[in-house]
Amino acid sequence: MKGYTISYFFFCYLLSACMPLIAQSDSASSPTDFLIKSKGIPFIKNHTPKDYQASSQNWTITQDNRGMMYVGNNDGILEFDGLNWRLITTSNKSVVRSLAKDEKGRIYAGALGEVGYLAPDSLGKMEYKSLLPVIPKEERNFNNMWDIYIAKEAIYMMSFSGLYIFPKDVPKSKKKVKVIHPTKDQLFHRGFLVNEAMYVREWEKGLMKLNGDSLEMVPGGEFFANERIYGMVPFGSDKILIATRTKGLFIYDGKQLTPWRADLTAFLNKAEIYSARLLKNKYYLITTLNAGVLILDTQGNPVQLINQPKGLLSNSIYYSFLDRNQNLWLGGENGISMLQVGLPITIFDQRLGIDGGTNAIRQFNDKLYLATNPGLYSRSWGKQENILEGGANFELLKNGSGQSWDFIEFDNQLYVGRFNGVMNIQGTIARKTFQDQSHIVGFVPLKDNKVLVAGAEGLTLLSRKGLNWKQIKQYKSYKPTFDQHHVLLRDQEGLFWTSHQNVGVFSFQLDEATDSLINLKFYDAPKYGLPSNLQIRSYKVDNRIVLATEKGVFTFDKEQNKFKRDILDQYMPKGQRVFFLVQDFSGNIWFQVGDKIGVLQKNDSGEQKFLTNYSHFSPLKGAEVYCIVPLKSGEVMMGTSEGIIHYQGNLNKKYTSDFNTFINRVELETGLGRDSLIFAGMYRNVVGSVLSKQPQSAIKTFPFKLNSFRFGFSTPYYTLPKSILYSFYLEGFDQKWSAWADHKEKEYTNLSAGTYIFHLKARNVYGEISEEAIYTFIVKPPWYRTIWAYIGFTLLALLLLWGIIWLNTRRLRQQKEFLEQKVEERTTEIRNKNHILEEQKEEIISKNDALEIQKEEITAKNSALEQQKEEITNKNTELEQQKEEMIAQAEVLKTVNRELTHQKDEIQRQRDEIELQRDSIQFQKNEIEQQKDEIEEKKDEIERQRDVLEKTNEIIHRKNQDITSSIRYAQTIQQAILPFGQRMDQVLEDYFVIYRPKDIVSGDFYWLSSNIENKILMAAVDCTGHGVPGAFMSMIGYTLLNEIVNDQEITQPAQILEELHKLTRLALRQESQANADGMDLCLCMLEPIDAEQIQITFAGAKRPLYYVPQGGNELLEIKGNRKSIGGGKHFENPKFTQQAFAVPRGTTIYLTTDGMIDQNNEQRKKFGTVRFKELLQNCSALSLAEQKDRLNEALDQHQLGTDQRDDITVWAIKI
């Protein structure tokens, strides 16, 4: 089964005769309803040395109070929690031979030269503690400590050299350890605790009993002087069963020995007994060195023989242990095995002779027959089998090879339908009674020795005379053929019903002469109320025909002439396919839903009640079930892909017990690259005893800087441990329990200061919840949030306030002194300036006096000048005369002057021009200097703007990334609404989709619905715009189409378009807003007419439908209406038309948007409708995959060098 691996290791190692074993009893916790099934093999889980990473040999097993398993191994003690193994070594790292648990849960260990016990260390991790210090030094020299027994008053530990008697409260007890030695030069062999009495066998002496501080020979004990004892367990209320190595089994009543089940002695001697155990006061379990494990009932009858051929790792088994969930653990030569002997189910598979899947099972007379794919098998049934000689195995019938399907009984004869006809079964021989070329899978007996047969050729009428059968008629009018699950049934009114998984449901009648079928009727799913025509199986329950479908259970209502949900449907899980509905002889109904087996159990009033507990059948999870067959004895057989499952039990019984989960690791994240372990799973009190819950003293407090924790957890539950789920929450941090998940650790980081409680619970494969485990811890606040910090902060604030006041006062005082000094300095400065002004005033007065003197001197000089003027006038007269003389000369000079003036003007003009050029150059220079300054300023401004621009670009880049991320997320959402491949594969046989958005997201989408009445609706939609606006429109269109078809159940394409138009305008508020957004689409509905034809109903909004009929090479076009979906007020109530036409199966249809047709090339020329249609027609003879490649190639070549201008969608479907 899934989750259970049966491995085979053909290796056996014979131990020497001196090797002892443990014999124990489980009588203390014996439920009266504990049952070990004798039929089939229990489910086995093997643990190899590779799994637990230690030695192959395992000597002893026990379980602590938490449910953890402990195994004594050559390398130490193995600890197992269901998933993880851990090795605990002894002080001297020696082999561990014995383990025992006392009533307080402490586990004691006996090893080679060492004894001790397990206790948690300071962190809670189990470790070995030696007891050698409490043993007298002179008694510490012993070899293997083979046996440990916990009695009411003492602990007995047994070695070859002595019996060690420890006080119960060791090592705290002040009582000394007592040691009883064998006779000089002799050795002890075995020791056993039975009913609080300690028995010891000594070589060459016999069997003795402890009495006080000495051993006394029991009556008849001398018999065992040289006969080895390997087991002593209670037998009844006052006797003991003794298992020996060479003389078999004996009953001892305290006075004499009586051989018991001498018929088993030869087998047991050859097997070599190694241990014996009493299981729940109902079974005796014997482990052997050569034959695995033998289980006997209290009468000594063999119930089970489990050995290496049946799934164990070895035939050499040293120890057995029954855990609290009734799992049987075996330690042996080559690993550890766990057997689920407490479950009501076992398995028959290749280990018991069965090969291949089982199609039918029938109990007939005293045998059980199987119809399998390889052939016919049988074994004895209903009587005690000799399991010691292989009597429980299935064997192939003589002439039984070949695929077999179903059984039928006539006149106390058993027949079987096979791959080539019908055979009669006589004991272990099969004989042909009817030869056919096709397989036969079902029978319905008719009157006059006639039989209606269902097979690969359809329906056939056979007649039988004695053991010979012959064909009378083949009913050609019934077309479907039959296989394993296509059942033929007849109701109480004589109406025949058939269900075909790929066609649907039929009914018919036979005429009186059985010459022909009459009233043959096909119940098409949509018309007659069934969810679909696929995956239907028919069964008979309470003499009525019921159909198990993909969506529940249905029955036919004759008054309404359609199928309706049966009363059983209310008990079935919703939305899951029902596979089987089989009624047993008690009226219970067995069914399969998904991968689970369930039962509708009939109560005392005769009504069915739903049994929600699937726990009995959880090991079946994942197996494919071929048949469910109840037997009259109350047993149920299930033919599966992994063998036959046999159920024999009580439906109302709980086969499991309570279990624990625990926190096995708490780590502190130190931030130094490694985590620090602070708790390892176990609590202890001050004296070191194990506690089940965290004591107050174990609540740890951590500084605030260490506030990140990791919790690891596990559950010691051993049935499908990988299926265990966990839920947890951290009180003080989480608000609620986490969802169930298989995570086995949880981290919490950066916790605030406070008290936290981590809560944990587990759920097993049966849906049962464990007891809650908790771990409490405290995170201290940081130093700055302690009371002393707050006091210090207050004092510091007061001191700071005082300092500020003092500093401010000092500042004001210094400022006052500074101002006073300034006033004094300014006063001194003003005095000095006044003194300077007085000096300047006196100097001005002195200068004024000097000026008066100068004025008088000037007046005198003026008088002198008047005299000089008269003199000059006289001279002027003289000069006048000279003037006239000079006039003549002047005329000559004028001419010269004019010439010079002209030259001067020219020179002046040139000078002015030069000056003007110089000024222009200077102006340009100044302007250049100014421009240079402006350029420098602009350069600085550009530098600032560049920095701003870089920051702006960075912001824009981040926003662009956010926008792109959002659009990518929108793309994910949009892709999620498109029909994904798996969904389309379930509905469409052959198709392709070319879907190329112009941007990340698209305004195009394609849509598929197959939920309504066996109709398939599909559409290719082109929404207004592309990119994000188009994507929003596509989401609106997708949502509205689903609402119209799936919720309103409108399926006619024209009505869908009209409703889509109305809802689109309503969604976009186009009644009140001026926007013309909408969509174009082509929409078609496919409906099967018959096996050969499909009806297509098409309606389009500005988009056509193209199709190529099967066998043709012409592309046909059906145009849609010239109207869009959505738009302004003038498009309020458009009417769309639809066209319906029939096409043969294999026709290819094409649904497109206008994206590919409108795509430009480099010359801005569109791809075009004509070219697109020619391309479709030219490649119509190719497969759809090749057509897709051709279209993509043509589009890529056309588009080469240009950007895509619109979203592109092309969807082709071969129907």
Rounded (10°) angle between helices 1169-1178 and 1184-1199: 150
Rounded Cα distance between 994 and 1167, Å, is 16
**What confidence tier does 962 reach under pLDDT thresholds 50, 70, 90?**
low
Highest mean pLDDT among 255-269, 464-478, 516-530: 255-269
Q: Which two tokens stand for residue 657?
A: 């017990």
pLDDT average, residue stretch 24-47: 72
Query: What's the pLDDT tens digit per position in 55-108?
Result: 999 999 999 998 999 999 999 999 999 889 999 999 999 999 999 999 988 999
Rounded Cα distance between 509 and 516, Å, is 9
- The residue ranges of DSSP E strands in 617-688, in sequence order, are 625-630, 636-640, 643-647, 662-669, 675-679, 683-684
Whole-number pLDDT of residue 876:
64
Rounded Cα distance between 1195 and 1187, Å, is 12
Q: Looking at domain 979-1214, which CATH architecture does it have?
A: 4-Layer Sandwich (3.60)
Whole-number pLDDT of residue 6:
24
pLDDT at 18 over 60: no
Q: What is the rounded radius of gyration, in angstroms, for the C-alpha atoms of the chain?
A: 53
Q: Report the candidate in 875, 849, 896, 1153 with the shortest Cα–Cα distance to residue 1024.
A: 1153
pLDDT average, residue stretch 1112-1118: 89
Rounded Cα distance between 305 and 296, Å, is 9
Whole-number pLDDT of residue 13:
24
pLDDT at 615 over 90: no
Say which amino acid occupies 337. Answer: S
Rounded Cα distance between 535 and 32, Å, is 45
pLDDT at 973 over 90: no
Query: What's the pLDDT tens digit per position in 684-727?
Result: 776 667 777 888 888 999 998 889 999 999 999 888 788 899 99
Which residues does 670 contact at the CB level (< 8 Å), separation at least 6? 676, 706
pLDDT average, residue stretch 862-886: 66
**What confidence tier does 880 reach under pLDDT thresholds 50, 70, 90?**
low
Query: Do the Cβ atoms of 117 and 157 come closer than 8 Å?
Result: no
DSSP codes joined into one string, 767-803: SPBPBPEEEEEEEPPPGGGSHHHHHHHHHHHHHHHHH
What percent of the chain stands above pLDDT 90?
Answer: 45
Say which amino acid occupies 1008. Answer: L
856 CB-side CA count, 13 A: 5
Query: Do the Cβ atoms of 65 and 690 come closer than 8 Å?
Result: yes
Is there a shared CATH topology between the 350-361+427-647 domain and the 979-1214 domain? no
What is the fold of 69-301? Methylamine Dehydrogenase; Chain H (2.130.10)
pLDDT average, residue stretch 424-442: 86
pLDDT at 7 over 50: no
Query: What's the pLDDT tens digit per position in 488-497?
Result: 889 988 899 9
| Backbone φ and ψ of 805, nearest 5° | -60, -45
Cα–Cα–Cα angle for 417, 421, 425, rounded to 5 degrees:
55
CATH number, domain 350-361+427-647, options 3.30.565.10, 2.130.10.10, 2.40.40.20, 3.40.50.720: 2.130.10.10
Query: Do the Cβ atoms of 323 and 336 come closer than 8 Å?
Result: no
pLDDT average, residue stretch 635-662: 80
| Out of 76-80, 454-458, 1057-1061, least confident range | 454-458
What percent of the chain stands above pLDDT 70?
Answer: 84
pLDDT at 1036 over 80: yes
Q: Which two tokens stand for residue 774?
A: 């908790």
**What confidence tier does 116 reach under pLDDT thresholds 50, 70, 90?**
very high
Whole-number pLDDT of residue 24:
39
Within a 10 A sphere around the Cβ of 476, how many other Cβ atoms? 11
pLDDT average, residue stretch 340-362: 89
**Domain positions in the chain:** 69-301, 350-361+427-647, 663-784, 786-976, 979-1214
**What confidence tier does 867 reach under pLDDT thresholds 50, 70, 90?**
confident
| Backbone φ and ψ of 725, nearest 5° | -115, 155
Rounded Cα distance between 262 and 244, Å, is 12
Query: Do the Cβ atoms of 180 and 165 come closer than 8 Å?
Result: yes
| Out of 436-445, 791-800, 957-966, least confident range | 957-966
3-state helix, strand, coil in the chain (%, to 5): 25, 35, 35
Rounded Cα distance between 414 and 424, Å, is 6
pLDDT average, residue stretch 1051-1075: 86
Q: Report the candidate in 711, 717, 703 with the shortest Cα–Cα distance to residue 734.
A: 711
Strand partners, 709: 668, 748
pLDDT at 16 over 50: no
H helix count then E strand count, the chain: 9, 77
| Mean pLDDT taken over the chain | 84
Rounded Cα distance between 1159 and 1152, Å, is 14
| Out of 207-221, 297-311, 967-981, least confident range | 967-981
Whole-number pLDDT of residue 32:
54
CATH annotation of 663-784:
2.60.40.10
Q: Report the candidate in 49, 50, 107 with the shortest Cα–Cα distance to residue 74.
A: 49
Q: Which two tokens stand for residue 554?
A: 């249905």
Whole-number pLDDT of residue 685:
74
Tokens 């033998």 belong to residue: 294
Whole-number pLDDT of residue 1116:
93
Rounded Cα distance between 660 and 86, Å, is 19
The CA-based dihedral angle spanning residues 416, 417, 420, 423, taken in that order and rounded to the nearest 10 degrees: 20
Q: Is the peptide bond before 171 cis (omega within 30 degrees of 0)?
A: yes
Whole-number pLDDT of residue 732:
93
Rounded Cα distance between 946 and 907, Å, is 55
**What confidence tier does 608 reach under pLDDT thresholds 50, 70, 90?**
low
**What confidence tier does 607 reach under pLDDT thresholds 50, 70, 90?**
low
Q: Which two tokens stand for residue 21?
A: 């074993």
pLDDT at 21 over 60: no
Return the sign of the alpha-carbon dihedral for residues 342, 344, 349, 352: positive
Query: Do the Cβ atoms of 1041 and 1058 come closer than 8 Å?
Result: no
Which residues does 569 contact at the CB level (< 8 Å), separation at least 6? 552, 553, 554
Rounded Cα distance between 1199 and 1158, Å, is 11
| Out of 27-36, 271-280, 375-384, least confident range | 27-36
Chain-centre distance of CA 121, in angstroms?
36
**What confidence tier does 891 reach under pLDDT thresholds 50, 70, 90?**
low
Whole-number pLDDT of residue 60:
98
Which residues does 598 contact at the CB level (< 8 Å), separation at least 6? 590, 591, 592, 610, 611, 612, 614, 617
